[in-house]
Amino acid sequence: MSDCLFCKIIAGEIPSNKVYEDELCLAFYDIDPQAPTHFLVIPKAHIGSVAEVDGDNAAVVAHIFEVIARQTKKLGLDSYRVVSNIGVQAGQSVPHLHFHVLAGRDMTWPPG
Ligand code: AMP
Ligand code: ZN
């Protein structure tokens, strides 16, 4: 999608601080971190949010969770939170599927 911020990051048109990249996904540090460690994992194919996951694209979501499990281990994180906001009321500000990975501080429940 030409006017999508995260598609522009994937295309290299906007710089990012990369954690990991492969042919299916990209992980990079959030520009406005909400915890000592805060990175995002996104599919390279444009998917608007979890609400657009279906039988045709669900494999990339499984792959992203595999990447999250591996990269958090590499970073020495044994407790962390994975969050995906869907829609404006839930706080989604970028309409390209992304999973926040947050770690390094006590977390509250329920989330605000
Ligand atoms: P959400 O609000 O759940 O849609 O998450 C979008 C996230 O993208 C926010 O946490 C932003 O801080 C982050 N973000 C926005 N622009 C950039 C950027 N250029 N590089 C890294 N993270 C970004
Ligand atoms: Zn996109």
Please give the pLDDT value at position 1.
Answer: 74
CA distance 7 to 96: 8
Q: Which atom of ligand 1 is nearest to the CA of 30?
A: 22
User: What is d(CA 4, CA 96) in angstroms, rounded to the nearest whole number?
Assistant: 7
pLDDT at 2: 81
Mind listing the pLDDT tens digit of every residue in the chain (112 residues)? 789 999 999 999 999 999 999 999 999 999 999 999 999 999 999 999 999 999 999 999 999 999 999 999 999 999 999 999 999 999 999 999 999 999 999 999 999 8
pLDDT at 112: 85
Distance 58 CA to ligand 1 centre (A): 22
If we measure between CA atoms, which residue out of 91, 73, 59, 94 comes closest to residue 20? 73
Closest CA to 20 of 42, 36, 37, 46: 42
Query: Residues 90, 76, 20, CA angle at the centre, nearest 5°?
Result: 65
Distance CA 38, CA 45 (A): 22
3-state helix, strand, coil in the chain (%, to 5): 25, 20, 55
90 in contact with ligand 1, CB cutoff 6 A? no
| 98 is a catalytic site residue | yes
pTM value is 0.98
